[in-house]
Amino acid sequence: MALRGAIVVDTEKCKGCSVCVVNCPTNTIALSKEVNSKGYNYAYMASPENCTGCTNCATVCPDTCITVYRVKV
Amino acid sequence: MHTTMDIKDIIKPENKVYSKTPVLLDNVMHYCPGCSHGTAHKLVAEVIEEMGIQENTIGVSPVGCSVFAYNYVDIDWQQAAHGRAPALATATKRLYPDKYVFTYQGDGDLASIGTAEIMHACNRGENIVVIFINNAIYGMTGGQMAPTTLMGMKTATSPYGRREDLHGKPLRITDLISQLEGTCYVTRQSVQNAAGARKTKRAIRKGFENSAKKKGTSFIEIVSSCNSGWKMSPVKANEWMVENMFPSYPLGDLKDI
């Protein structure tokens, strides 16, 4: 059994602080080259196939802009 | 193509394992990117949701960056004069003994101008929870030196670094508070990584449970970063905190009775 996960980032709320990026144990997240309306490079799943839905990113996100989904496959 | 299909299958309501607690309002926080305050607010809100005490919790916000905590956590709030949150919390708890009352204070508020209030509230053993954000600086007013500023640390008011002969040594106020007989639980935690945030959440919950049991004051220090005040990137500030703050402010329980 393996875990597959995915995150959804509220890109307008994200301030691009990178705290989720360094806390992701599977290197799933990176900052986008695109910016939101405030000019922040928001977080996104750069390697979605790596995500296990561990919720570490959402737990440390200071702006609580990450929602996490997980399935057992 | 296979991956795209997968993501759609994963992102379904029944697979949701983490989302924003409804106790946290939708307002965008005014804090700088990566600020520890946001994480600390979220953990408080999650504990309130898990314990089902949203209608029975009263927070007291300080003077400092977190003065606006009432814009983010959907409970009843008061806002105290600088450093006086423990005095307001004392009055609130005595008038409403069945409510959960907590203060949320920074190091400039709690460890400097509010030293008298926090010492006496903790010594009296008021059944409140104190959440103490220690980032070793006055964040809101532009990064001045605080009593908790580390030796040699450069701030707006100690541009050549904190010096013992001029400024004295950093104040470990949590250690002092653990000596007071009114406190039942004194701990020092951090929120820069997931393990730390989860531990901090358990500590906050324990604090609220202690007040229900009328055990005395619970004091939770959260060693935090102020990346704007420290003039670093958020990630760099967290690394600097682990390297430099933790030796002076070691994590763990100082008291648990």
Q: What mean pLDDT do residues A38-54 have?
A: 96
Please tell me the predicted confidence (pLDDT) of residue B127.
Answer: 97
User: What is the distance in angstroms between the Cα of A32 and the nearest Cα belonging to chain B?
Assistant: 15
Instruction: Find where tokens 């250690």 sit.
Output: B175
Q: What percent of chain A has pLDDT over 90?
A: 96
User: What is the band of B207 on the pLDDT scale with cuts at 50, 70, 90?
Assistant: very high
Distance in Å, alpha carbon of A1 to nearest chain B alpha carbon: 15
**pLDDT at position B31, please?**
97
Residue of B nearest to A47 (CA): B3
Residue A24 backbone dihedrals phi, psi, to 5 degrees: -80, 115
Q: How far apart are CA A71 and CA B142, in angstroms?
A: 46
The ipTM assigned to this model is 0.95
Nearest residue on chain B to A18, alpha-carbon basis? B235
- Please state the rounded mean pLDDT for residues A36-41: 96
Q: With contact defined as beta carbons under 8 Å apart, do B85 and B120 qualify?
A: no
The answer to whether residue B1 scores a pLDDT higher than 80 is: no
pLDDT of res. B111: 96
Whether the predicted pLDDT of B5 surpasses 90: no
Domain layout of chain B by residue ranges: 33-141+172-256
Q: Is the pLDDT of residue B171 over 50?
A: yes
**Closest partner CB to B193 (pick from A12, A60, A65):** A60
pLDDT of amino acid A1? 74
Residue A47 forms contact with B (CB below 8 Å): no
Residue B96 Cα distances to B91, B128, B156, B219, B257, angstroms? 8, 12, 42, 20, 25
* B15–A70 C-beta distance less than 8 A: yes
**DSSP 8-state secondary structure symbol assigned to residue A12:** T
Mean pLDDT computed over B63-88: 97
pLDDT at B4 over 60: no
Summarize the confidence of residues A56-65 as an average pLDDT: 97
Cα nearest neighbour of A63 on chain B: B38
**Could B34 and A69 be called an inter-chain contact, meaning their C-beta atoms sit closer than 8 Å?**
no
> For residues B36 and B107, is the Cβ–Cβ distance under 8 A?
no
pLDDT of residue B237: 97
Domain boundaries defined on chain A = 3-72
Give per-residue burial for B73-109: e unless 16+ CB within 10 Å, then b. bbbbbbebeebbbbbbbbebbeeeeebbbbbbbbbbb
Instruction: Please give the sequence-ordered ranges of beta strands (E in DSSP) within chain B, or none if there are none.
Output: 16-18, 57-61, 76-79, 100-106, 129-134, 183-190, 217-223, 252-256
Chain A residues touching B28 at Cβ < 8 A: 12-13, 63
Q: Which of B3, B17, B48 to mutate to test the interface with A (most CBs of A within 10 A)?
A: B17
pLDDT score of B24 more than 60: yes
CATH code at A3-72: 3.30.70.20
What is the model's pLDDT at position B126?
97
B75 pLDDT band (50/70/90 cuts)? very high
Q: What is the CATH number of domain B33-141+172-256?
A: 3.40.50.970
Task: Kindly determine whether residue A6 and residue B7, on different chains, have CB atoms separated by under 8 Å.
Answer: yes
* pLDDT surpasses 70 at B93: yes
List pLDDT tens digits, range B33-66. 999 999 999 999 999 999 999 999 999 999 999 9
A48 touching chain B per CB within 8 A: yes
Considering only residues 20 to 59 of chain B, which have any Cβ-Cβ distance to chain A shorter than 8 Å? Answer: 20-21, 24, 28-29, 31-39, 42
A contact test, residue of B10, B29, B232 with most A CBs within 10 A:
B10
Measured between beta carbons, the chain A residues lying within 8 angstroms of B48 are none
Query: Is B2 an 8 Å CB contact of chain A?
Result: no
Q: Given this model, what pLDDT does residue B164 score?
A: 95
Chain B contact set for A64 (CB, 8 A): 20-21, 24, 38, 42
Mean pLDDT of B156-174: 96
What whole-number distance in Å separates Cα of residue B148 and Cα of residue B136? 5
**Which residue carries 């990630």 as its tokens?**
B235
Q: SS in 3 state form for B88-149?
A: HHHHHHHHCCCCEEEEEEEHHHHHHHCHHHHHHHHHHCCCCEEEEEECCCECCCCCECCCCC
Examine the pLDDT at B3 and tell me if it is beyond 90.
Answer: no
Contact at CB, B235 and A6, closer than 8 angstroms: no
Provide the mean pLDDT of chain B: 96
Percent of chain B residues topping a pLDDT of 70:
98
Mean of the pLDDT values across residues B211-236? 97
Tell me, what DSSP letter sits at residue B29? Answer: P
